[in-house]
Structure 1
Amino acid sequence: MLNNLMPNRLPLAFLLCLLLAARSTATGQDPRLSGVENYALNRPGVVMIRTEYTANVYVNSMKMDNKAFNALLDSIQNLDHGGGVTAEQKLDIVLQEMNNRPARFFQTTFDYIKQPEQITAIGTGFFITGDGYVATNCHLIDREDAFIRRQFILSAFRQITEASIAALETSWATHFTEAQRSLLYTTYASVYSRLFSMILYDLKKNVYVVYRSDNGNHHSDTVKRPADIVIKGQPMPGKDIAILKIDAKEEMPVLNLAPQELPQVGEQLFVYGYPAPVTNNDFVSAASAIEPTLTTGIVSAIKRSVGGWPLVQMDANINHGSSGGPVCNQRGEVVGLTTFGSLENNGILAAGLNFAVPVAILKEYLDSAGITARPGKATRRFAQALDEYERHEYAAALQGFDAVLQLNSHYPGIYTYIANCRENIKRGKGRTLGSVERMLFIATILIALIGVLAGYGIRRSKSADRR
């Protein structure tokens, strides 16, 4: 019975394969994406990670020893009997003497200043499921307490010192030069490190996922949602992976994970992130901060971490803030997460000597947490519509983008694509297949049909002869 059915089923399956091959040949489809296509596909799913620490820093208030200060002024006056010392020089002498012997001029009190402080760590992540799971680096959301406390104390010191310098300028009716301000910073650093204590209380941490949300009026909003830490590894030299979860209101755009374990040396890479020099640039609008930066490079080498697991070395440019971002291949699939760079002897990041944690390490944590990373219907439909859009098949693309809109009415970039499709169709630019492509497609189908039918006829003739 099975043998009798096979001749009927085989031609149909074979014909289907030929049709798909013909379609691919006719439309010029290529699994590799250009940089423009890679960015268009993956940009919606790249997110910013914000870890916000808040605390109260209590600092001993200090006061100037007026007796010592007045004695210093008197001594300066005694030097100036001939009037050869300018006011600027006198001020320099005062500040230098205060710096040389800070304990003589500053006194501690029993009062404390309460200084509320907040510090923020910014990095990158990406959606791995439509219901709001996000992959990123562990070191973005899990810094050691000593580092955090040091950052808080430095932040409090800067603010208190700025206020103290401003108060001196007001009381002395002067304006310090940059050199004088620098000297005062050194003086206050000495005072606070040796004479006054800073105590940290009420330290709290909140992790947020920030992403773009588009509206029908072509206006883009920035959405900031609190995130729970589902599972995490350890910052380098540990497995620097963390998986977060937000309460997703709609189906989120997702990046595909590459099926292979490691990319090949020499393979081109596309790296997404929020590098601090761009995010914090005074000349870049705050509204556009949510747009990820794309850099490109190649796989320079496959190395091993001190823990024995593989690392992807690449020459794509990264910077602080790029950590946790997706590293994608030419098919738009994630092959790793940007994690750390190399330092020069002067402590500056070395250009083009950067590393990513391979996607295989991420999959270990996904398996441990029981999470299946896969794109939802919205992402798949968007990718298909984007492919049709790139082929100028605007009518088909418009249907796809409209379908995405039903699943996520705020899908990043969707309204721009819909408007472009309608405008191109209105101008008569939309097409399905070109004339040459259509003839090739039809000819391929006819050849396939003739071959299948001929083969099927031969098999039937041989079967009749045997009977």
Structure 2
Amino acid sequence: MPGSGAAPSTHMARTAWRTAWSGGMERFKSVPSNRQDYKCTIAYVNGRFRKYRIRGTLTAAAVALAALAASPASPASAEPGDDVSVGTRLAARTHPAVQLTSLTYSGQVVVPTGTIKEGPFNELVQQATAAVLDGKISSDERSIAKYLFQRMAADVDRYLKPTGPERKVKAEVGGLCTGWWVTPDGYMVTGAHCVQMSDRELTEVFAQQALAKLNKQDAKEIIKGLRGIEADAELIQLAQQVYVNFNSGHLQIRGLNKSLSVVQSLPGGGVDKTAKPVPAELVSVGENYPGKDFALLKVNGQQNLPTVPLGDDSDVQTGSTLYISGFPGLVTNTPFFSLESKLEPALTEGPYNAKRTTQEGVPYIQTQAPSYHGNSGGPVFSKDGKVIGMLIAGTVSEGGEASESESFVLPVSIIMEKLNEKNIKPAQSLTTTKYDEALNDFFLRHYKNALPKFREVQALHPNHPYVAKYITDSQQAISSGKDETPQPLWVWIAIGAGGLVVVAGVVVAVLMLRRRKAGPQAAAVQTPSQATAQGWQQTNQAWQQTNAPAQDWQQGNQAWQQQNAQGSQQQPQQPQHVEPGFQPNYPQPGNPQASPAMPQPGYPQPLNPQPLNSQAGYPQPVNPQPVNPQPVNPQAGAQPPSVAALEQEIAELRRRLEQRPPGA
């Protein structure tokens, strides 16, 4: 029905056509009061029913196309590398930005020659003799010598004095730590204690490296003065300790130089013994632990460096798993591993235990993630791969041994505070963005998709330390048939479009087959739309004749009255039965087969209506011209009148009906 949301059924459409046809031209005399509804009904039957059917077919095809397009997208919607552990994925993404840093001091170490003070030393010999007499030590010379060296090492300046000549040794000391890029142009974050040493620390490390040889030589000389005593390992160790204390206490460092550097990979990726440190500039430094142990470095001439993103303190809490990345010293300093393997970061993990605050008021996170000397300055990540802090320190036992199970992390909020002081804004590089995209494809085993992205990373940053290996691994996986890359979207669109073409071809074939079957009947039978259109044309011609000059109309009216009077004396004939959907035989002039006139609204009717020789209900001119409806023989490919043409015919009919004289 007009105005309803559902399309009319085929039966309803046929019923409407039969109703319109059985009345013939009479149907158009009584225009419905709701003309808009009438027009909508005609338009609905002639046009929209067909459109809805075609639209339904196209909709079904579109749904099939959408299903085809959506089917390959299912794997891509999964989390990248669901079968890859968090640690593996996190290490792959963050390792390129984690670098080994080096702090180096060089200079000339100068120490005087130690000479025994005779007076204090003679007093010490007397004390040793008394101890032998009292039975406190053995009476053999080796035991007495050990007693003397122990007392001298405890108060070395009482028994030794500095004299010439000075002894000079060139030395270079330093330490290795971990740093990480926060901007693509070369700003790096690390720990404050990784870039500076106190005077006491410098003396200790220079003494350990530069004075070892001197200490052994001095101990050997003093033992030679003990005639007749065979020195054992304990005696040698005691003698060396005397000069370790004396030489380190009188050590001077001249021409001290300090340098900071970052060990980067070679062009093309990878690190070997030819890799050289790149100088770094110290931009900012805080206080050593337990203060705000932070330092900012800048390596000039850099671009497209891989970076790591910074998170928030709230990203983790007690119980969260933390991941520490860095270069543990027990690996870096051991001679058993190759340099290539030493220069790859290690990733450890452990729970967030608690949040602590130092006496200086600085917050630190306590974690059980293992760490070692060399991890200092390294980034600490959440499971999402964002930096939540920096590894600074660990606990040390009473024996001076570090405990690997307790580590302390400077929160990321302090790091952001220090970066803001220098107006440094952390940023992710294009290299990192492309590298992460390539890793996602790699872990999904979409090696064909990953390979060009890895090559793009290599073009952006030729010194990338790991991309060359991923390129090789991807090529090998493709060659061995391990690639699981899905077809690109355009292929599925093409398949869907092909399916749509097939569906459309089937629809066209069905329509053509139906038309061929209806061909023999169409030669003698008009379609409802053709009959209706022809009836409207006849009505239009009749009204054109009816609307002739007024004299002709009056003569036609008188003739109609005479015919009506004569017709009242005739016997009415039975109306011709018309089969639904066929063209009726309209009455010809002078043919007594006219249908009986039916009362029509808006027309004057005789008291005893009789069959007329003219069309019922229409005034005829004096000499009406016959209108012979001809059967329409549809040609191949001919189309029925469009809805717009039919609506125009109805509008013309209304206009003429409204122009009829009153009382006609």
TM-score by length of 2: 0.54
- 1:202: which partner in 2? 255
Q: Structure 2 matches for 1:281-300, cutoff 5 A? A: 281-300=334-353
Q: Is the 8 A contact 1:261 1:358 kept in 2?
A: no
Q: Counterpart of 1:35?
A: 87
Residue 179 of structure 1 is aligned with which of 234, 249, 257? 234
Instruction: Give CA deviations for 1:38-88 in whole Å, capped at 9, x if unaligned.
Output: 11111111111211112322211246899x99xx9xxxxxxxxxxxxxxxx
Shift of 1:161: 0.5
Structure 1 residues 25, 351: closer, same or farther in 2, change over 3 A? same
Distance 1:383 1:99, change over 3 A: same
* Superposition map of 1:243-254 within 5 A: 243-254=296-307
Counterpart in 2 of 1:257? Answer: 310
Partner of 1:85: none
SS of equivalent to 1:119: strand
- 1:176 Cα offset (Å): 5.9
Q: Partners in 2 of 1:375 and 1:361 — Cα distance?
A: 20
Deviations 1:363-401 (A, max 9, x none): 112111121211211111111101110000001100110
Structure 1 partner of 2:168: 114
Give 1:406 deviation, angstroms: 0.7
TM-aligned CA deviation for residue 131 of structure 1: 1.3
Alignment-derived partner of residue 29 in structure 2: none
Compute the displacement of 1:98 (Å): 5.7
Change (3 A) 1:260 1:96: closer
Q: What is the aligned partner in structure 2 of residue 325 from structure 1?
A: 378
> Match of 2:236, as an amino acid?
R
**Contact 1:33–1:331, Cα closer than 8 Å, also in 2:** no
Distance change in 2, residues 1:46/1:220 (3 Å): farther
DSSP 3-state at the match of 1:139 = helix
- Are the counterparts in 1 of residues 218 and 240 from structure 2 also a CA contact under 8 Å? no
5 Å matches for 1:285-434?
Answer: 285-433=338-486
Alignment of 1:56-75 (within 5 A): 56-62=108-114
**Higher strand fraction (1 or 2):** 1
1:163 and 2:217 correspond: yes
Using a 3 Å threshold, how does the CA distance of structure 1 residues 367 and 155 change in structure 2: closer, same or farther? Answer: same
Matched, 1:44 2:96: yes
Residues 409, 175 of structure 1: alpha-carbon distance in 2 compared, 3 angstrom cutoff: farther
- For residues 128 and 40 of structure 1, do their structure 2 counterparts lie closer, same or farther at Cα, with a shift above 3 Å needed? same
Alpha-carbon distance in structure 2 between the residues aligned to 1:400 and 1:120: 39
> Which TM-score applies when normalising by structure 1?
0.75
Q: In the aligned structure 1, how far is the partner of 2:161 from the partner of 2:362?
A: 55
**What is the Cα-based RMSD across aligned positions, in Å?**
4.0
Distance across 1 between alignment mates of 2:191 and 2:271: 32
The verdict on how the C-alpha distance between 1:191 and 1:370 changes in structure 2, with shifts beyond 3 A counting, is: closer
Q: Which runs of 5 or more structure 1 residues have no equivalent in the other structure? A: 1-14, 73-88, 444-467
Cα 1:241–1:187 shift into 2, 3 Å: closer
Unaligned runs of 5+ in 2: 1-65, 126-139, 497-664
Task: Provide the C-alpha distance between the structure 1 equivalents of 2:107 and 2:272, rounded to a whole number of angstroms.
Answer: 35
Distance 2:306 2:417 in 1: 22
Structure 2 counterpart SS, 1:134: strand
Distance 1:28 1:430 in 2: 18
How much does 1:311 deviate? 2.1
Figure out how many residues of one structure are paired with residues of the other and give that number.
407
SS in 2 for 1:202: strand
Distance change in 2, residues 1:201/1:265 (3 Å): same
How far apart are the structure 1 equivalents of 2:223 and 2:453? 64
1:420 aligns to what SS in structure 2? helix
Where in structure 2 are the equivalents of 1:86-125 lying within 5 Å? 97=148, 108-125=162-179
Cα distance in 1 between the residues matched to 2:273 and 2:445: 25
Greater gyration radius:
2
Q: Does the C-alpha gap of structure 1 residues 190 and 218 become closer, same or farther in structure 2, counting only changes over 3 Å?
A: closer
Offset, 1:148: 1.9
Partner of 1:26: 77
How big is the shift at 1:279?
1.6
How big is the shift at 1:290?
1.2
Task: Note the C-alpha offset of 1:135.
Answer: 0.5
Q: Which residue of 2 aligns with 1:229?
A: 282
Aligned to 1:151: 205
1:427 to 1:147, Cα distance in 2 relative to 1, 3 A: closer
| Aligned 1:443-454 pairs, distance under 5 A | none
**Which position in structure 2 is the counterpart of 1:458?**
none
- Residue identity matched to 2:337: V
The C-alpha deviation readout for 1:214-264, integer Å capped at 9, x for no partner, is 637997853411111112221123211111011244522211112554512
| Letter in structure 2 aligned against 1:29 | P
CA contact (8 A) 1:378 1:407 kept: yes
Q: 1:218 to 1:180 in 2, by over 3 A?
A: closer
Q: Contact conserved, 1:218 with 1:415, CA < 8 A, in 2?
A: no
Measured after TM superposition, the shift of residue 314 of structure 1 is 0.9
Whole-Å separation in 1 of the counterparts to 2:465 and 2:237? 46
In 1, are the aligned partners of 2:269 and 2:464 still within 8 Å (CA)? no
Q: Is the 8 A contact 1:49 1:210 kept in 2?
A: yes
Residue 286 of structure 1, CA deviation: 3.6
Aligned-partner Cα distance in 2 for 1:349–1:371: 34
Give the Cα separation in 1 of the matches to 2:350 and 2:159: 57
Once the two structures are overlaid, the 10-residue window that deviates more, 202-211 or 144-153, is 144-153
Post-superposition CA distance 1:376-430 (Å, at most 9, x none): 1111111110111000000110011000011111211111111111111122221
Q: State the shift of 1:162 in Å.
A: 2.5
Aligned to 2:243: 188
Aligned counterpart, 1:136: 190
Q: Check conservation: 1:336, 1:358, Cα contact below 8 A.
A: yes
Instruction: Name the residue aligned to 2:59.
Output: none
Cα distance change of structure 1 residues 303 and 418 upon mapping to structure 2, 3 Å threshold: same
Deviations 1:133-155 (A, max 9, x none): 11001111122223323433454
Q: Is 1:279 the equivalent of 2:332?
A: yes
Alpha-carbon distance in 1 for matches of 2:286, 2:294: 5
TM-aligned CA deviation for residue 302 of structure 1: 2.4
Return the offset for 1:33. 5.7
Q: Residues 331 and 33 from structure 1, CA distance in 2 versus in 1: closer, same or farther, beyond 3 angstroms?
A: farther
One-letter amino acid of the structure 2 residue matched with residue 185 of structure 1 = Q
Q: Distance in 2 between matches of 1:385 and 1:145?
A: 48
- Once the two structures are TM-superposed, the CA of residue 187 in structure 1 deviates from its matched residue by 2.8
Aligned residues with identical type, % of pairs: 25
One-letter identity of the residue aligned with 2:459: Q
Task: Report if aligned partners of 1:213, 1:412 keep a CA contact under 8 Å in 2.
Answer: yes
